[in-house]
Amino acid sequence: MRIDRLLANQGIGSRSEVKALIRSGAVKVNGETVRDPGAPVDELRDAVELRGETLTYRKYVYIMMNKPAGVLSGGGGVPTDKTAAMLLPAAYAKFDLSPAGRLDKDSEGLLLLTNDGDFVHDTISPSKKVKKRYFIRVGGELTDADREAFEAGIILGDGTALKPAGLEILKAEGGLSEAVVTISEGKYHQVKRMVLARGKRVTYLKRLSIGALSLDMRLGPGEFRELTEEELEIVKSRG
């Protein structure tokens, strides 16, 4: 990798600003001053210093967030909408993070943000059959007939046939229900539409897990942390 590209990728400055820094003699590679912006550097092995401070190169970032309601997972809304990436410190902006599997604006829970495209594909691609679990509150009482319908595969109002899903009913009384739904797809508003197909309505939804990776329940709404190496292996092995 070119030294100017490495520094720009690390958010040191624009490409032109980085080139000026290099030409001024502010950058060293393995203890030697480098003044050529096009000089090659091994980002994983070479020691790069800027004004005497050693830089640690990070190619990918993986973040677990407890997404709050009212926040978009990614872009695509109106200009005034707040996105999950906006909840992160400015230092993360240089990584251009994207969600690995979106959550609806009014939904909460586990959201993974990363700049690793292969990771995103492996997490959300239907061919990977990654299971996702959601806690839901429902207007209406869920029944064993609903559970059996989920297990057989719900057919939506538009004729879309969904794969079998799990429905664990936690409570169903007084016209209200609580349950955990497990799906291996990720169609638009899928859980809500599945429940609606059974004549009931989801009033609250929170994603609990993706594969074997569960939301850190110590994270409050809007809080986040980077994945540990162990958690990263869990997701990459698809739990």
Our answer to whether residue 104 is catalytic in this structure is: yes
- Catalytic hit among 42, 81, 104, 118: 104
3-state SS track over the chain: CEHHHHHHHCCCCCHHHHHHHHHCCCEEECCEECCCCCCECCCCCCCEEECCEEECCCCCCEEEEEECCCCECCCCCCCCCCEHHHHCCHHHHHHCCEECCCCCCCCEEEEEEECCHHHHHHHHCHHHCCCEEEEEEEECCCCHHHHHHHHHCCECCCCCECCCCEEEEEEEECCEEEEEEEECCCCCCHHHHHHHHCCCEEEEEEEEEECCEECCCCCCCCCEEECCHHHHHHHHCCC
Give the residue numbers marked as catalytic: 104
